[in-house]
Structure 1
Amino acid sequence: MAVWTLGINHTTAPLDLRGRFAFAMDQIAPHLHGLRQTLNRMPEAAIVSTCNRTEIYCAGEQSELEPTLGWLANSAGISPDVLRSHTYSLQDGLAARHAFRVASGLDSMVLGEPQILGQLKDAVRAADAAGALGTTLSQMFQRSFAVAKEVRTSTEIGAHSISMAAAAVRLAGNLFEDLGKVKVLFVGAGEMIELCATHFAAKSPKALAIANRTLERGEKLASRFGGEVMRLADLPDRLHEFDVVISCTASTLPIIGLGAVERALKKRRHRPMFMVDLAVPRDIEVEVKALQDVYLYTVDDLAGVVQTAQANRQAAVAQAEAIVDAGVQSFMHWVDQRGSVPLIQQLNAQADAWRAAELARARKLLAKGEEIDTVLEALSKGLTQKMLHGAMAELHAGDGAARERASNAIQHFFLRKER
């Protein structure tokens, strides 16, 4: 059984390219179906898609990295050659090790961040619901979750990390002297927005609002922080009211355009606006960054802020990597054992067939009135002859070299002393 992964992340591809490979959760099932149809023999498959990465994990009889690359490139309408320079591809133990490191937060932009584990679990559930998750990938991911749990409980990998949300608050604090006097708008109502709202709410801003496509979800989040909720359709008319705008939605197109921000700045009389676009693809048009009174940051722009306290984390990283390595070794041992399963099944089936045949013969002898001892003797001899027939045949057939190999095998399997 071969295991392989192909992906792009924040270290190999720029934000705009990553945005072209963002898969919405409700589209994972059809994409998985298309991927498996493209590859030979419908391998197991799972797709992980976050703001920092898009990865495909597969397991099948043979590795099919090139067809996988071709499918991924085609999904975004670009050539495989262009995509290849931005991807990483790993097989077997290295693929498993990558999955374990991702789950443990060791491959994240924010070292040790916990959100990726939940995103990975969502991807596995989606693959399972789509019927694309088989025994091998299921085992690999479940082991990766166990390793991630051990890393988090046994090391301080996340103790010194700065989350995206905390980084956004820190940068906003650099621009505004008192965050208690600013009005903050959150666009979206997902997990990342909830995390950002929690961090900003701790600074007691003057006002807090949630703009979301569905009011019900927005109201639920806004009620937690004593904020108001608004429709996305009202965003252009009210954008000027807010000093800080944090956006992270699943929209495939920007929802805050250059024109809307320019009009907002005019109404604000060019008082500065702090904006953070955590979405992939972008929620805020890239041209907004060039405006004089706007301070716009993307997930990639925050990289320098979150990579602090690196020296303090080195010991925890080394400890975490050791846990990952042990997990990978255990998983690959399991995979190797799985390769023997068909032979074991055949051997058991053959032994059952011999047993059934000798039992049927014994019952006939008993029905004819034969003595029980005689029947038992015949039963034992029949089973013994059937088990030894192949070995005896090999010892009397073939050339000298073949007989020597057979002799060594027979001594190993039949004549070795019990320890």
Structure 2
Amino acid sequence: MSVFALGLNHTTAPVDLRGRFAFTLEQLAPTLLTFQQRVQPASAPASRAPEAAILSTCNRTELYCAAGPQLVRPAIEWLAGVGGVGADALKNHAYVLEGGEAARHAFRVASGLDSMVLGEPQILGQMKQAVREADVAGTLGTTLHQLFQRSFAVAKEVRTSTEIGSHSISMAAAAVRLAAQLFEDLREIKVLFVGAGEMIELAATHFAAKTPRQMVVANRTLERGEKLATRLGAEAMRLADLPARLHEFDAVISCTASTLPIIGLGAVERALKARKHRPMFMVDLAVPRDIEPEVARLSDIYLYTVDDLSALVQTAGEKRQAAVAQAEAIIETGVQSFVHWLDQRATVPLIQALQAQTDAWRETEIARARKLLAKGTDVEAVLDALSRGLTQKMLHGTLAELHGADSVQRQQLAGTVSRLFLRGEWTPELRTAAARAANDDDTSRS
């Protein structure tokens, strides 16, 4: 079993396409179970179901699997169906990473190196939540558990050992900077926050530092909106009241889990008319979109999406490059360790089969020894027969392979057998002894 990651992010797909593949937290567990059912052959036992986890944020949707490579194509077809696009169309905007490359990607994502905002800390919490949901669904498994726990450990080391986080400009801070370019004094504006999740809380905190004239939180659940509003010294209102009050606000920051836009073109047109076409600053941080994209075509509207903010959150300089290089070195060490662990896992079935075989041999010889003892055979003779029976069973296959191999194969086998059984160098004397033993074994079989 290996691992692969199938996904699309802010560098490979536009926001509207990413919106087709966005999942809420509540959707993750049932979606994972549906994925397992779709790609697993009906005849396969439940214990052989592929391990799976989904990470879905405003910047990315990624499916992580622990399964054989033959499941990559079915996974692509399944995800394409979820988004309502063709498999080939999805492949144009998606990436598939396997083995060590998948691990490297997961470690970079957790460390904030693959984010639109370099070093941003939110993604680590989002990844941990994705893992919890996969665990609840029962789709996590040993291999993915190892992958993600190692991702978290690498991310922690990156954040504590490098300055990667100090070069981060959050989306919320970028939104404030954009607003400051449009309005002369942010203390004179009224700001509406739509939603009450983590991203809105961050944005509201940044705007609150500029002490705007008024801040209002609109949320579908009024109680949750009131809790955030109380912490910020803001007002709360029902989301249903948004169309009637939209014209009151100079800036609108929206990020909800709605699958459909909640601020439409008509509502914004009416708001502009009531404002006598005073400009409105709007930021849509949601994926899928909260604000209809046609709104951006209106005069006096300055609408930005998460993709539009990318230019503002890019930093440069020697310190940034040094931090990235240091982080990449930490990640590479983690990748090599995980790949080694994965390679060891590949031998587990062989080890289990060997243990089962030796247990069977041991039980056979013990049963034979007990029968001899019951007949009154001397104990020393029984022990001698027991030991000989076990060693003959263990060596029989090896000697048979040595005898049946040609000269080149026998030389290679001889070296392997020497390492496994003799723990020493393959001397001419030992080679002669092995050849004699192989002939003896062949004679006994005939």
Instruction: Give the structure-2-normalised TM-score.
Output: 0.89
What corresponds to 1:21 in structure 2? 21
Amino acid at match of 2:10: H
- 1 CA distance for matches of 2:296 and 2:371? 90
Which whole-Å deviations, capped at 9, do the CAs of 1:390-409 have from their partners, x for residues lacking one?
Answer: 22333444554554444333
- 2 CA distance for matches of 1:331 and 1:244? 47
Q: Which consecutive residues of structure 1, in runs of 5 or more, have no partner in the other structure?
A: none
Which whole-Å deviations, capped at 9, do the CAs of 1:275-326 have from their partners, x for residues lacking one?
Answer: 1110111111112212222221111111111113454310000000111111
Which whole-Å deviations, capped at 9, do the CAs of 1:114-169 have from their partners, x for residues lacking one?
Answer: 11111111112222222222221121111111111111111111102110000111
Q: Which consecutive residues of structure 2, in runs of 5 or more, have no partner in the other structure?
A: 42-48, 426-446
Q: 1:342, CA displacement in angstroms?
A: 0.8
Other structure's SS at 1:252 match = coil
Contact 1:254 1:284 in 2 (8 A): yes
- 2 CA distance for matches of 1:157 and 1:67? 37
What corresponds to 1:172 in structure 2? 179
Contact 1:39 1:68 in 2 (8 A): yes
Other structure's SS at 1:146 match = helix
- 2 CA distance for matches of 1:394 and 1:321? 47
Q: 1:33, CA displacement in angstroms?
A: 2.6
What corresponds to 2:233 in structure 1? 226
> Which deviates further from its counterpart, 68-77 or 93-102?
68-77
Contact 2:6 2:94 in 1 (8 A): yes
Q: 1:189, CA displacement in angstroms?
A: 0.6
- 1 CA distance for matches of 2:115 and 2:397? 56
Q: 1:369, CA displacement in angstroms?
A: 4.7
Other structure's SS at 2:166 match = coil
Contact 1:249 1:279 in 2 (8 A): yes
What corresponds to 2:356 in structure 1? 349
- 2 CA distance for matches of 1:16 and 1:405? 59
Q: Select 1:126's aligned residue among 113, 120, 133.
A: 133
Other structure's SS at 1:64 match = helix
- 2 CA distance for matches of 1:73 and 1:354? 51
Which whole-Å deviations, capped at 9, do the CAs of 1:159-202 have from their partners, x for residues lacking one?
Answer: 02110000111111222222222221110011100111111112
Q: 1:261, CA displacement in angstroms?
A: 1.5
- 2 CA distance for matches of 1:79 and 1:6? 15
Alignment of 1:265-284 (within 5 A): 265-284=272-291
> Which deviates further from its counterpart, 275-284 or 170-179?
170-179
Describe the shift of the 1:310–1:273 C-alpha distance in structure 2 as closer, same or farther (beyond 3 A).
Answer: farther
Other structure's SS at 2:225 match = helix
Structure 2 residue 174 is the aligned partner of structure 1 residue 190: no
Alignment of 1:266-345 (within 5 A): 266-345=273-352
Other structure's SS at 1:159 match = helix
Contact 2:253 2:283 in 1 (8 A): yes
- 2 CA distance for matches of 1:219 and 1:28? 27
Contact 1:3 1:63 in 2 (8 A): no
What corresponds to 1:88 in structure 2? 95
Contact 2:280 2:301 in 1 (8 A): yes
Q: Select 1:162's aligned residue among 166, 169, 173.
A: 169
Describe the shift of the 1:234–1:390 C-alpha distance in structure 2 as closer, same or farther (beyond 3 A).
Answer: same
What corresponds to 2:11 in structure 1? 11
Contact 1:161 1:309 in 2 (8 A): no
Contact 1:4 1:63 in 2 (8 A): no
Structure 2 residue 54 is the aligned partner of structure 1 residue 47: yes
- 1 CA distance for matches of 2:69 and 2:313? 39
Contact 1:272 1:293 in 2 (8 A): yes
> Which deviates further from its counterpart, 287-296 or 146-155?
287-296
Describe the shift of the 1:306–1:395 C-alpha distance in structure 2 as closer, same or farther (beyond 3 A).
Answer: closer
- 2 CA distance for matches of 1:62 and 1:17? 26
The alignment of Structure 1 onto Structure 2 pairs a total of residues equal to 418
- 2 CA distance for matches of 1:83 and 1:137? 24
What corresponds to 1:264 in structure 2? 271
> Which deviates further from its counterpart, 402-411 or 38-47?
402-411
Which whole-Å deviations, capped at 9, do the CAs of 1:49-94 have from their partners, x for residues lacking one?
Answer: 1111111111212343322222222212222222221112211111
Amino acid at match of 1:18: R
Structure 2 residue 2 is the aligned partner of structure 1 residue 2: yes
Contact 2:418 2:424 in 1 (8 A): no
What corresponds to 1:389 in structure 2? 396
- 2 CA distance for matches of 1:111 and 1:63? 34
Describe the shift of the 1:111–1:227 C-alpha distance in structure 2 as closer, same or farther (beyond 3 A).
Answer: same
Contact 2:193 2:253 in 1 (8 A): yes
Contact 1:48 1:56 in 2 (8 A): yes
- 2 CA distance for matches of 1:350 and 1:38? 36
Instruction: Give the structure-1-normalised TM-score.
Output: 0.94
- 1 CA distance for matches of 2:178 and 2:20? 28
Other structure's SS at 1:119 match = helix
Query: What percent of counterpart residues are identical?
Result: 71
> Which deviates further from its counterpart, 30-39 or 250-259?
30-39
More helix by share: 2
Other structure's SS at 1:46 match = strand
Describe the shift of the 1:366–1:137 C-alpha distance in structure 2 as closer, same or farther (beyond 3 A).
Answer: same
Amino acid at match of 2:171: M
